[in-house]
Structures are given as structure tokens and as C-alpha cells.
Amino acid sequence: MVGVVYATMKISFLIHNAYGIGGTITTTFNLAGALAEWHDVEIVSALRHREHPHLVLDPRVRLRALVDLRKEADHPLHQRPAKVFPAAEYRHRQYSELTDQRIGECLEGLDTDVVIGTRPGLNVHIARQAPQRVLRVGQEHLTLDNHPPGLRTALRRAYRRLDVITTVTEADAAAYRRKMWLPGVHVEALPNSVPDPALPPADGTAKIVIAAGRLVPVKRYDLLIEGFAQVAAAFPDWQLRIYGKGEEEPRLRELIERLRLWNNVFLMGAATPMEAEWAKGSIGAAASNFEPFGMTIVEAMRCGLPVVSTDCPYGPGEIIQDGADGRLVPVSDADALASALLELVSDDDRRRRMGRTALENARRFAPGPVVAQAERLLEEALTARSTGPRTTTPPDRRTNSALIGRGHAARDAAVGALRAIRKGRR
């Protein structure tokens, strides 16, 4: 970000429950913390169920909650279903007339330049309830095609009131532009970021493959274990360590027993943060049928691990360069997964070379480049509100380095316009 100067912004994130564990919480905390270096940032949690967040939040970021379930779970309004939060949204049962009321009051009273929603239902709240004076941004952390038809219909109606929609992959941004009629709404891919590692990268000598994530069917850890059985047969001194918790744990333990892999495959439970665990391995692995982004893939690569992954929709193919920093294999193919793992297990030089390339290629997901893109996106959107009607022209696919190095004259004009907006607002 050297040489780029942005006007200070006040930014509010609206999140489901900042006190839980999950990819959206992690990425929101990461982005908010990185933005807080230069901007005034807060996270508003719709719900709260414990005293402190599970994850560590940058102390420069303020955190507040709207409904504290420890005290208000039995509130009369919380017993009535939500009317603003869309009924077709996955989390609808956790919302109520009380959350409708609190979120609406929060949005109406925002003293902020930008408000950013982090799931479809909250994006609808922002679209319907945030004041016109605030830049309204909806983040998509899943994918458009993953939403049921009823939710897509509700989003199509509400999202026309947003200013910006961000997706985590170019493929999903293209789907939004192609399938949703949202005149005047700017759609752009903004990848998730992973903080700079604090530990030295893996050196590729450990005989350990690592996977991490929720133990749920879509992640296909059963496929990974079946594929790794072929690795263990040829290289019995190698291990597979799987980090995470979830409903699939009993079935996976049974599979490990049935394949007699007690000495090779280990369910390690959840680990937060994961960086120290990635650094103990030499190869990362992912076997999902569907991956909106692939946060664990980036985490592994940022620690110097090449990653073997299924080439599932949408994220892995935009993160991994097949043959350079990892391998992409067909979905649901245990033999292909085993073959790709064996390529790296059996070739020390190739594994280490790909690990170094993974470390270098993953720098584009560091906070610096991602925050530079986010700042540019928000600045341009704020400026556009004051200089003329918005357009639906898709952004060109410029690299982060090109974005960082754009002309000083254009940058200064945008910053000056933004400051003029704020001065007139006071």
C-alpha cells in the first residue's frame, strides 16, 4: 500500500454472531482488523451468546451486540418470527421481531460512511433499512447458486437497493452479473484475506498431510481418508491429520477403524489458530464437493504447504495453480486424490519446490493487497454517489498490484471528492 493515500472512513460490519466460530467470522475479523490500521471500524453482532469471542479481534476494532441471548432468549418479541430477515434464509429461525427491531434501530442510527453485511439475510436488512446517506455493501460468503430459489427471489428484490455486492470468487461475481438483474449495483470479487504468518514456513520435511475444516458431509473427509489409505500402504511412515469438529466425526472414526488406519490417520479436534498446525505439515489437502472460497487452502499455502484439492466449484481453481503450487483433481475421485498425494509424497524436491511457490503465490491473499482493493472499491463507490449515476459495467480484472499503482491524479480526485461529501454531511 506504499504510495496510496485514502481518506479515513468510518466502517461498520453487520455479522450474525461474532462470538461463534466459522469462516465468515474469521474473514470479517481479518478484514476489519486490517482496515482498522487507517480507518474507524466497528463490528455489530446481531446475536451474542457468550462473554468473549472465540476468535481474537484486533483491539482497534470496536465490537457490540444487539441481542444478548444470555439475557433475552425469552424476550416476548424473540418468540415471534422475523419479518425483515428473509424466511428462505438458512438462519431465519434464529431471528425474530426482536432482531428486526434492534437491527433496524441500529442501522437507522449509524454514524458511519459504510455499512457491510456479511450474510444474505443481513444484506436484506441493510438494503431495506440502512439510510441513503450510508454506502450499503452486501458481502456474499457462499455463492448465488448455493441459495434456494426462494431466497434468490428475495435477494433479487432487495439487493437493488444496495450500492455494492462483493463475492469471494470471480466465478460467483460472474454468476451475479449474469443471473441477477441489479441495475446500478456494482458487483466485484473481493477475496478473503489471511494474516501474515507469525511462524517460519514449513520446510517440507515432515511426513504429514494436513486438512482442516468442519467435519460435515460436503467436505468429503471420507474421500480423503480413502485416498490416503493408498498413500499409507506405499509410505506407512506418513500421517494424515484432520482438524475440526462436526457431525461426521463418528462416521469418520468408523472408517478409520475399518480401513485399519489407526497409526496413519488422526482426527485432531478443533485448533484455533491453525497456523502452528499447518507449519508442522508438508502437504495440505482438501476433498470438498463444494467450496465457496477455500480459506483453509489459503491458510496452508501461506504457511508454505502445497495443497492437493478437488477442483470443485468455486474457490480452489482460483487459488491453486495446478502443478505449480498444488494439484487439482476431479471431485469425488479417491484414486485421483491418492495419485496426486503420492506425487508429492514420493518426490521430496518437487514437494519442497511447490511449497515455496505456494508461499509466494499466496501473498496475493495477504491483508495488504486485499485491503488495498477493498479501500479502492469503497472509495470509488462513495465518490460515484456524489458524481453521477452508478453503472452496471463489470469491473475489469485488474491485478491488485495494478490497483495499488493507479494514477495519483485519479486517486487524489477521488479522495478530495470523498472529503467534500463528508464536509457537506456535517
Do 182 and 256 meet the contact criterion of CB atoms below 8 Å apart? Answer: no
- Same CATH topology for 10-193+367-425 and 208-363? yes
Neighbours of 204 (CB within 10 A): 21
Q: What are the two backbone dihedrals, phi and then psi, of residue 64, each rounded to the nearest 5 degrees? A: -140, 155
11 Cβ neighbours under 8 A, 6+ residues apart:
32, 35, 39, 40, 41, 42, 112, 113, 114, 115, 116, 378
329 Cβ neighbours under 8 A, 6+ residues apart:
308, 309, 310, 311, 336, 337, 339, 340
> Among residues 335, 424, 333, which one has the least CA distance to residue 382?
424
Helix (H, G, I), strand (E, B), or coil: what is residue 279? coil
- Strand 307-310's sheet: what is its strand order? 265-269, 239-243, 208-212, 283-286, 307-310, 326-329
In sequence order, which ranges of 235-328 are alpha helices (DSSP H)?
A: 249-258, 275-278, 295-302, 316-319
10-193+367-425 in CATH: which number? Answer: 3.40.50.2000
What residue segments make up the domains of the chain, in order of their start? 10-193+367-425, 208-363
Tell me how far apart the alpha carbons of residues 232 and 370 are, in angstroms, rounded to a whole number.
39
Residue 90 grid coordinates: 438458512
Q: What is the pLDDT of residue 386?
A: 76
SS (H, E, C) 140-163: ECCCHHHCCHHHHHHHHHHHHHCC
In sequence order, which ranges of 205-248 are alpha helices (DSSP H)?
A: 221-234
> Among residues 213, 363, 345, 237, which one has the least CA distance to residue 288?
213
Instruction: Name the DSSP letter for residue 291.
Output: B
Q: What is the pLDDT of residue 272?
A: 81
**The whole model's pTM is what?**
0.84
148 Cβ neighbours under 8 A, 6+ residues apart:
88
> Among residues 254, 292, 319, 297, which one has the least CA distance to residue 144?
292
Cα angle, residue 3 at apex, residues 60 and 372 outer, rounded to 5°:
50
Q: What is the pLDDT of residue 397?
A: 33
Residue 242 grid coordinates: 484432520
Tens digit of pLDDT at every position of the chain (426 positions): 444 545 799 999 999 999 998 889 989 999 999 999 999 999 999 999 999 998 899 999 999 999 999 999 999 999 999 999 999 999 999 999 999 999 999 999 999 999 999 999 999 999 999 999 999 999 999 999 999 999 999 999 999 999 999 999 999 999 999 999 899 999 999 999 998 899 999 999 999 999 999 999 999 999 999 999 999 999 999 999 999 999 999 999 999 999 999 999 999 999 988 999 999 999 999 999 999 999 999 999 999 999 999 999 999 999 999 999 999 999 999 999 999 999 999 999 999 999 999 999 999 999 999 999 999 999 999 998 877 654 443 443 333 333 333 333 333 343 344 444 334 433
Tell me how far apart the alpha carbons of residues 408 and 120 are, in angstroms, rounded to a whole number.
36
Q: What is the pLDDT of residue 423?
A: 41
Tell me how far apart the alpha carbons of residues 194 and 22 are, in angstroms, rounded to a whole number.
14
Q: Does domain 208-363 have CATH number 3.90.1300.10?
A: no
Helix (H) or strand (E) holding 285: strand 283-286
